[in-house]
Amino acid sequence: MDTGTHFVMGIALGGLATLDPVIAQDPVTASAVIAGTILGSQAPDIDTVLKLRNNAVYIRNHRGITHSIPAVLLWPLIISGALFAIIPEANYLHLWLWTFLAVFLHVFVDIFNAYGTQALRPISSKWVALGVINTFDPFIFGIHVAGLILWGFGFPPGYLFLVIYGILVIYYISRFREQAFIKRAVKQQIPGARKILLSPTMRFHRWKIAVITEKNYYVARADNGYVTILDTFDRVPLPESEILEAAKKDINLAAFLSFSPVYRFEIEQIKEYYEVRFIDLRYRSNGYYPFVAVVHLDSDLNILNSYTGWIFSEAKLQKKLNIIL
């Protein structure tokens, strides 16, 4: 989920914690627990600072080790230990328990979007991505904000958020049901589908779809259960090419290939240099495919420049690459 949603979830967990008799009877522990749930709901995303280095490092590592099993166990110890050092009057066991729940819930809800996490690391480095919730879901964010407002008006937060999380369980079940319905609709329209990749959008009944068959890639959209095919591409295997092999050594392209399961590619000679471009087919937006990796090489196959990330116009891409013609 996005940072804002994790933040309101952290506060909501602090409210839910008032159902704990120890916390309900101890204002000092209650204050420490709210701080713990807020910090715990944010801690796994500390790897966002990797963006300051470059997109390649961020793509390869975001939601990786910081969302792993050891990290889920370590974050609560660090956070609750630091808070207990500041507030030694707090009940440490209950502070740790609720901080642990905040960290666990952060990682748990992240597996439901299309990006996913390496939540099973070190047992498995596989990305767990169920693809039923958008990174920002207006309903999930909105119901938390509504709960916080009601709390501010005096509603008992423990029972209030217990009801809200019951509603969210039903909401998640409905998303899984809709996802299954869309997959069935895709298989009816594209019988040869070997793999179907669904990306939920912020609109409840709209999904982005990428389909892999034996010979083609299909890009589609689902609106209210109706599937529309938008683009079709031949599934061309990567050629044996010195240009491509040289480009694959670039960190930006390597990061893209580690992240993207469905893409098309282009290799062109432009004046005195070569351009290798990979385009992720999952994120079509207004007829444009914004997630790309581009590498430029000179005639001796030395890498001149490269970029991977989200670009919504060719002009901005050229600016990122800082091409000097």
pLDDT tens-place string over residues 266-292:
999 988 899 999 999 999 988 889 999
- The full length of the chain comes to 325
Question: Average pLDDT for consecutive 10-residue bins of the chain (325 residues)?
Answer: 94 97 96 97 86 74 85 96 97 97 96 87 88 94 98 96 97 96 95 93 93 96 94 92 94 89 91 92 90 92 91 76 55
| Sequence-separated (6 or more) residues with CB below 8 Å from residue 143 | 164, 167, 168
Q: How far apart are CA 121 and CA 66, in angstroms?
A: 10
Q: Are 184 and 168 in contact (CB under 8 A)?
A: no
Neighbours of 207 (CB within 10 A): 25
Neighbours of 262 (CB within 10 A): 18
**Helix 92-110 × helix 3-16 angle, to 10°:** 140
Helices (H), the chain: 3-16, 21-24, 27-42, 55-61, 69-86, 92-110, 138-152, 157-189, 242-247, 251-259, 314-321
Domain ranges of the chain: 3-173, 190-234, 242-322
User: Would residue 225 be called left, alpha or beta, if left means φ above 0 and alpha means ψ between -120 and 50 degrees?
Assistant: left
| Paired residues of 268 in beta bridges | 275
What was the pLDDT predicted at 37?
Answer: 97
Q: What is the pLDDT of residues 67-112, one digit of tens each?
A: 899 999 999 999 999 999 999 999 999 999 999 999 999 999 999 9
pTM for the full predicted model: 0.88
Q: How far apart are CA 227 and CA 237, in angstroms?
A: 27
What was the pLDDT predicted at 41?
Answer: 96
- Exposed/middle/buried for 173, CB within 10 Å: 0-12, 13-18, 19+? exposed
Q: How far apart are CA 317 and CA 305, in angstroms?
A: 12
Q: How far apart are CA 30 and CA 33, in angstroms?
A: 5
| Selection from 325, 254, 263 nearest residue 295 by Cα | 254
Q: Are 256 and 309 in contact (CB under 8 A)?
A: no
What was the pLDDT predicted at 146?
Answer: 98
Q: How far apart are CA 112 and CA 143, in angstroms?
A: 18
Q: Are 3 and 41 in contact (CB under 8 A)?
A: no
- Exposed/middle/buried for 175, CB within 10 Å: 0-12, 13-18, 19+? buried
Beta-strand pair 195-200/226-234 = unpaired
Neighbours of 32 (CB within 10 A): 27
CA trace torsion 260, 56, 323, 267 (10° rounding): -30
Q: How far apart are the first and last CA of the chain?
A: 41
